[in-house]
Amino acid sequence: MNKTININLSGIIYHLDEGAYENFNLYLNAIKDRLSHEEGGAEIVADIESRIAEIFSMRLSEGKRQVVTQEDVDFIISTLGRPEDFAEAAEETETTQTETKRRFFRNPDETVIGGVCSGIAAYFNIDVVWIRVLFLVLLFFTGIGFITYIILWAAIPEAKTTAQKLQMRGEPVNLGNIEKKFKEFEAQGKAFGKKFKNTPKGFFDFITNTIGAILGFILKFFGIVLAIVGSVIAFTLIVALIGVFGSTWNLGGFDFIDINGYIYGMDGAQALFGSGWRLMSLRVGTLLTLLMPLFALVVFLAKLFGKSISNARLLSFSGIASFIIGLILIFISVGSLATDFKERSTEVEKITIQGNSLVLEADILEESTGFLFDIDDDQLRVENVRFNIERTNDSTAHLELKHSASGRNHAEARQRAQRFDFKTEQTGETLRLSEYFSVPEDALYRGQDLKVTLRLPVGTTVFLDPSLENIIYDLENVQNLWDGDMLGHTWIMTERGLDCADCPVIEYYSAEDLEETIEEELEAMDDEIDRKIEELELEIKRLKDR
Partner 1 sequence: MKIENTKAQMRKGVLEYCILGILSNGDAYASDIIEHLKNAELIVVEGTLYPLLTRLKNTGLLEYRWEESTSGPPRKYYSLSTEGKAFQKELKSTWDALQKAVEHITTSN
Using CB under 8 A as the criterion, which residues of the chain lie in contact with partner 1 when the complex forms? 9-12, 31, 35, 38-40, 43-44, 47-48, 50-51, 53-54, 56-58, 61, 78-83, 85-88, 90, 92
Query: CB of 105 within 8 A of CB of 168?
Result: yes
Q: Which is nearer to partner 1, 50 or 142 (CB)?
A: 50
Residue 56: how many CA atoms within 13 Å on its side-chain side?
24
- What sections of 175-276 are H helices per DSSP? 175-187, 192-196, 203-249, 265-273
First to last CA, the chain: 115
Q: Which is nearer to partner 1, 45 or 241 (CB)?
A: 45
Nearest approach, Cβ of residue 56 and partner 1 (Å): 8
Measured distance CA(345)–CA(349) in Å, rounded: 14
Nearest approach, Cβ of residue 50 and partner 1 (Å): 5
Nearest approach, Cβ of residue 37 and partner 1 (Å): 11
Q: Which is nearer to partner 1, 78 or 480 (CB)?
A: 78
Q: Which is nearer to partner 1, 86 or 323 (CB)?
A: 86
Nearest approach, Cβ of residue 70 and partner 1 (Å): 19
Residue 9: how many CA atoms within 13 Å on its side-chain side?
23
The H or E element that residue 327 is part of is helix 312-339
Q: Which is nearer to partner 1, 174 or 460 (CB)?
A: 174
Q: Which is nearer to partner 1, 79 or 210 (CB)?
A: 79
Nearest approach, Cβ of residue 30 and partner 1 (Å): 11
Measured between alpha carbons, how far is residue 196 from residues 68, 70, 208 in Å?
A: 11, 7, 16
Phi-psi region of 381 (alpha: psi -120 to 50; beta: other; left: phi over 0): beta
Measured distance CA(87)–CA(84) in Å, rounded: 6
DSSP state of 316: H
Nearest approach, Cβ of residue 43 and partner 1 (Å): 5
Nearest approach, Cβ of residue 41 and partner 1 (Å): 8
Is 434 strand, coil or helix?
strand
Instruction: Name 289's Cβ contacts closer than 8 Å, sequence gap at least 6.
Output: 237, 241, 322, 323, 326, 327, 330
Q: Which is nearer to partner 1, 83 or 326 (CB)?
A: 83
